Amino acid sequence: MRILLVEDDAETADYVARGLTEAGHLVDRASDGREGLILASDGGYDALVVDRMLPKLDGLGLVRALRAAGVKTPALFLTARAGVGDRVEGLEAGGDDYLVKPFAFAELLARLNALARRPPLQGEPTVLRVGDLEMDLLRRTVARAGKRIELQPREFRLLEYLMRRPGQVATRTMLLEGVWDFHFDPRTSVVETHISRLRAKVDRDFGAELIHTVRGAGYAIRAPGG
């Protein structure tokens, strides 16, 4: 994946760039908004990581300018501010995701992967499949190895979130935002308890485990051997 990192703080930029490179991505760097805009205007990137506070042209302005020019490269904002309206502001400017500093690197990586591999809107699938697990999005039914599994509505959404991104890591906060629309981090391990309940229904009575815990990052669903 080709990623453009626009960040003026050299230490953060080094840290992020090193991590992304180790994860197998190609990283270009820009240290101010104007340089970032010039590089990103080609549209040759799979994802943009943009700090909100940048010299010359701030992150919001950069993404706004890109969107105005028709560049649709997914953009993730990094910010040191966790203000109440800041996230909405970032999304309204044309950003696709929002991450508050300081962040765990695994979180950034998982979110970037999710952004860059967003399924195209056209050709929306009606059935999701992972291994022998099948989800019918129209009938709202789930079956594994032909056997029907009864899920509560929220369990269904949680499983759907994972199945739409097979093999990709979903972090706790991504699940909180994507499934429950929670934009804060509860102290109680609510995600863990939901996942373990889902596992009891989806994995327990079947041989192979589909829902995996990715240590220090989150959860992923994948077919055995996949």
Partner 1 sequence: MPPAGEGGRRRPGWLRTTAFRVTLLHLALTLLGTAALSGVAWWATIGFAARQLAADVEQEAGVLQRAARLGGAPSVAVSVEARMAADPTGTGYYLLAAPDGGRLAGNLAQAPRAAGWSTLRLQGGPQPETEVLAFGTRLPDGAFLVVARGLAPVRDLEARLLGAAGWVGGAALLLGLLGGIAMGRGVARRAAAMEAALAAVEAGDIGRRLPARAGGDEFDRLAGRINATLDRLQDLMAAVRQVTDDIAHDLRTPLSRLRQRLEAAASGRETDARRAVGDAIKECDRILGVFEALLRIAQVEGGGARASFKRFDLSGVVEAVAEVYGPAAEERRQTLETRVAPGVAAWGDRELVTQMLANLVENAVRHGREGGRVEVALEGAPGGGAVVTVADDGAGIPAAERGRVFRRFHRLDAARSSLGTGLGLALAKAVADLHEMAIELSDNAPGLRVAVSVPPPPRQDGPPR
Q: Which of 139, 148, 187, 204 binds partner 1 (CB under 8 A)?
A: 187
Bridge partners of residue 88, in order along the sequence: none
- Examine residue 182 and tell whether it contacts partner 1 (CB under 8 A): yes
Q: Which of 10, 38, 82, 145 binds partner 1 (CB under 8 A)?
A: 82
Please tell me the chain's helix, strand, coil percentages from 3-state DSSP, rounded to the nearest 5.
35, 20, 40
Torsion sign (Cα): 189, 161, 128, 108:
negative
- Can you give the length of the chain in residues? 226
Q: Which of 84, 126, 138, 204 binds partner 1 (CB under 8 A)?
A: 84
Q: What are phi and psi of 121, to 5 degrees?
A: -65, -40
Would you say 21 or 193 has its CB closer to partner 1?
A: 193
Binding mask 51-70 for partner 1 (x = CB under 8 A): --------------------
Give the shortest CB-191-to-partner 1 separation in angstroms.
9
Pick the stretch among 70-78, 114-122, 164-172, 189-197 that binds partner 1 (CB under 8 A). Answer: 189-197
Give the shortest CB-101-to-partner 1 separation in angstroms.
10
- Examine residue 181 and tell whether it contacts partner 1 (CB under 8 A): yes
Q: Count of CB atoms within 10 A of residue 119's CB?
A: 10
- Examine residue 139 and tell whether it contacts partner 1 (CB under 8 A): no
| Helix 153-163 × helix 172-180 angle, to 10° | 130
Among 34, 28, 59, residue whose Cα is nearest residue 46: 28
- Examine residue 140 and tell whether it contacts partner 1 (CB under 8 A): no
Q: Which of 57, 190, 217, 223 binds partner 1 (CB under 8 A)?
A: 190
Would you say 29 or 87 has its CB closer to partner 1?
A: 87
Give the shortest CB-170-to-partner 1 separation in angstroms.
16
Give the shortest CB-212-to-partner 1 separation in angstroms.
19
DSSP for 47-85 reads EEEEESS-SSS-HHHHHHHHHHTT----EEEEES---TT
- Cβ neighbors of 224 (< 8 A, separation 6 or more) are 131, 208, 209, 210
Residues forming contacts to partner 1 in the complex (CB under 8 A) are 82-85, 88, 100, 102, 154, 180-190, 193-194, 196-197
